[in-house]
Amino acid sequence: MVQLAAFIQVPSMDSITTLRALSDIIAEAVTTVERAYKNADLNPPCLDEPLDPHSPAEALSRDPVVVDAVQNLVAAAAQISAATRDPAVSILGAANAFHISSCVQAATQLNVPEILRDAGPQGMSVKDIAAKNHVDPKLLARILRLLATHHIFREVSTDVFANNRISSTLDKGKSVEFLLANPDQRFPETTGLAALVEFITDEGFKAAGYMTETMLDPTGPRTGHMRAFRIDNNMFQWFEKPENKNRLTRFGVAMKGTATEEPAETIFRGFKWQDLPAGSIVVDVGGGLGASSLSIARRYPNLKVVNEDRPPVMEQSKAHWLEFFPEHLKAGMVEFQPHNFFEPQPVKNATVFLLRHILHDYADANATIILTHLRTAALSSTKLVIIEKIVQTACSGESTHPHVKNIPILGVPRKPAPSPLLANFGLAGTPPYYDDLNMNNLPGGEERTLEGFYDVLLQSGWKLVEVYNCLQTDSNHIIAEPIL
Ligand SMILES: C[S@@+](CC[C@H](N)C(=O)[O-])C[C@H]1O[C@@H](n2cnc3c(N)ncnc32)[C@H](O)[C@@H]1O
């Protein structure tokens, strides 16, 4: 009898209390969103309609009050689903989640969002979409239906699909005729979000397929990417091969796309660029196109910029600055310095070394080499500004690291998650964890905890002095100074 009782599922008071608390969080969040939109005499954006990035309703969706409410809503809705759904169905859903990536890849590579933009709200028959790409309409219908089931596209009537708010984010804003006739020109001059999605669902997706194999075979190829593409050099060297020219272009635009995940003002919400004296030298180490330093220089044109990256990227960067900020070039205030950051740093009088999305490409041994070269070239007054996400744990509790507790965390205080949500807001807080594994599988790097940053900086002669939390983004500005 005692043994039998163990198998009888009687929901405890705790489980019910948890469900009630989650549903209260959802109800309260909906009320907050409703009130914000009523006060502005607007309706929230409609999922069934394409995104209009310039509409007042979309602008209000970025209001901190609405963002916070939606964060609670997403976290609670995911947790209540996890708590109530058949766990076998949940785990099978997780196991099959790669189909979503694969179908998003198909839809974007076939330019379906642009084809459906032209079709308007009544949508287009999958036969006509498939005909433009010379692919099997039956398979395309199955792909788009799986996506519509996940609220990406809308199945208007049987086999007729239209864009919705989510699918339309992939619209590259170019004509279908142009995209089909110029496959190598699909991404330049776009926001970069579609390029980022294609990079993740192509290189990222393939590399992830080899993550476990790589973990179990530490003496073999170092990354999932090397295994997937059967290469023995790293992703960045692979990008430089002539046959990967389009991939390199896509990656460059995709990195610009990472900025679309965060509000345009983010770069100004942490480190106080305005306090730098005129003529200060900002070195954008591994700057890519130099999109971040370009934003900084545009706002503070008395700052000099040295953009550093691998030689082929420098060509692209120069073209980017010529297009978007030619004045700084003409004024001789920006230099393009081909440089390998595993070799000694050539700029010896930097005011700031800016490292945005660089250290996470490398595990600690290589990150230490990069940081040590910067430390050797630094003046005693040089600041290191690292822009990266700081990974939180899924549980609550104080750090046991001896030093990080005393580091000032400035900027926007991070709100604690209301009980019973996970401390990191669960599904609403996933981006850093996705990035972490992309870093592992592609270049062999990692997103770091605050403790991880402190330790790798210390090993390289830098002291982590403060952290800025930026508004509405997971990105942090991590400031370090030379240890003298
Ligand atoms: C993740 S991207 C970040 C780009 C830019 N900082 C940004 O925030 O958009 C990494 C950059 O590091 C560059 N990179 C990779 N290996 C490098 C090396 N050994 N020396 C210099 N740059 C390198 C890549 O070309 C790429 O532009």
DSSP 62-93: TSHHHHHHHHHHHHHHHHHHHHHS-HHHHHHH
Q: Which protein residue has the closest C-alpha to ligand 1 atom 11?
A: 286
Residue 415 near residue 332, CB atoms below 8 Å: no
Q: Could you give the CA distance from residue 83 to residue 44 in angstroms, rounded to a whole number?
A: 28
Catalytic residue positions, numbered: 360
Q: What pLDDT does residue 14 have?
A: 87
CA of 465 to the centre of ligand 1 (A): 24
Q: Could you give the CA distance from residue 122 to residue 108 in angstroms, rounded to a whole number?
A: 20
Token couple for 356:
């945005």
Looking from the CA of residue 360, the nearest atom of ligand 1 is 1
- Greater confidence (365 vs 14) lies with 365
CA of 214 to the centre of ligand 1 (A): 24
- Residues 361-372 have a mean pLDDT of 96
CA of 377 to the centre of ligand 1 (A): 19
E strands of 126-206, at which residues? 154-157, 160-162
Q: Which residue has the tokens 């091969």?
A: 241
Q: 359-382 in b/e burial notation, b at 16+ Cβ within 10 A?
A: bbbbbbebbbebbbbbbebbeeeb
Continuous segment of H or E residues that includes residue 178: helix 176-181
Q: Could you give the CA distance from residue 117 to residue 194 in angstroms, rounded to a whole number?
A: 15
| pLDDT tens per residue, range 235-275 | 989 998 999 999 999 998 998 776 666 677 888 989 999 99
- Greater confidence (13 vs 216) lies with 216
- Residues 333-361 have a mean pLDDT of 97
Helix crossing, 112-119 with 98-109: angle to 10°? 60
Helix crossing, 291-299 with 311-324: angle to 10°? 40
Contacts of 440 (CB under 8 A, 6+ apart): 211, 223, 224, 446
Q: Residue 153, class by beta-carbon neighbours within 10 Å (0-12 exposed, 13-18 middle, 19+ buried)?
A: buried
**At 305, is the secondary structure helix, strand, or coil?**
strand
Q: Could you give the CA distance from residue 371 to residue 52 in angstroms, rounded to a whole number?
A: 42
Q: Which protein residue has the closest C-alpha to ligand 1 atom 18?
A: 340
Which residues are near ligand 1 (CB < 6 Å)? Answer: 236, 255, 286-288, 291-292, 309-310, 313, 339-342, 356-358, 361
| pLDDT tens per residue, range 33-63 | 999 999 999 999 999 999 999 999 999 999 9
Q: What pLDDT does residue 235 have?
A: 94
| pLDDT tens per residue, range 120-142 | 999 999 999 999 999 999 999 99
Q: Could you give the CA distance from residue 77 to residue 362 in angstroms, rounded to a whole number?
A: 35
Residue 228 near residue 206, CB atoms below 8 Å: yes
CA of 172 to the centre of ligand 1 (A): 24
For the chain, give the longest Cα–Cα distance: 86
CA of 357 to the centre of ligand 1 (A): 8
Least Cα distance to 71 among 28, 16, 19, 100 occurs for 28
pLDDT band at 11 (very low <50, low <70, confident <90, very high): very low
Task: Give the residue, out of 310, 316, 336, 478, with the most ligand 1 atoms within 8 A of its beta carbon, to mutate for a pocket test.
Answer: 310
Q: Could you give the CA distance from residue 318 to residue 297 in angstroms, rounded to a whole number?
A: 15
Q: Could you give the CA distance from residue 449 to residue 29 in angstroms, rounded to a whole number?
A: 29
Q: Could you give the CA distance from residue 250 to residue 104 in angstroms, rounded to a whole number?
A: 16
User: What count of residues does the chain have?
Assistant: 484
Q: Could you give the CA distance from residue 206 to residue 195 in angstroms, rounded to a whole number?
A: 16
Token couple for 3:
């043994």
CA–CA distance from 284 to each of 306, 307, 348, 381 (Å)?
6, 5, 14, 17
Task: Give the residue, out of 244, 253, 313, with the most ligand 1 atoms within 8 A of its beta carbon, to mutate for a pocket test.
Answer: 313
Task: Report the amino acid identity of residue 20.
Answer: R
Q: Is the overall model pTM greater than 0.90, yes or no? A: no
- Residues 306-324 have a mean pLDDT of 94
Q: Could you give the CA distance from residue 29 to residue 21 in angstroms, rounded to a whole number?
A: 12
Residue 430 near residue 394, CB atoms below 8 Å: no
- Residues 3-32 have a mean pLDDT of 77
Q: Could you give the CA distance from residue 112 to residue 135 in angstroms, rounded to a whole number?
A: 12
Q: Residue 293, class by beta-carbon neighbours within 10 Å (0-12 exposed, 13-18 middle, 19+ buried)?
A: buried
420: cis peptide before it, omega within 30°? yes
Looking from the CA of residue 340, the nearest atom of ligand 1 is 20
Kindly state the percentage of the chain with pLDDT values over 70: 96
Continuous segment of H or E residues that includes residue 398: none
Task: Report the amino acid identity of residue 203.
Answer: E
| pLDDT tens per residue, range 383-438 | 999 999 999 999 988 788 888 888 999 988 888 999 999 999 999 999 999 999 99
DSSP 455-484: HHHHHTTEEEEEEEEPTTSSEEEEEEEE--
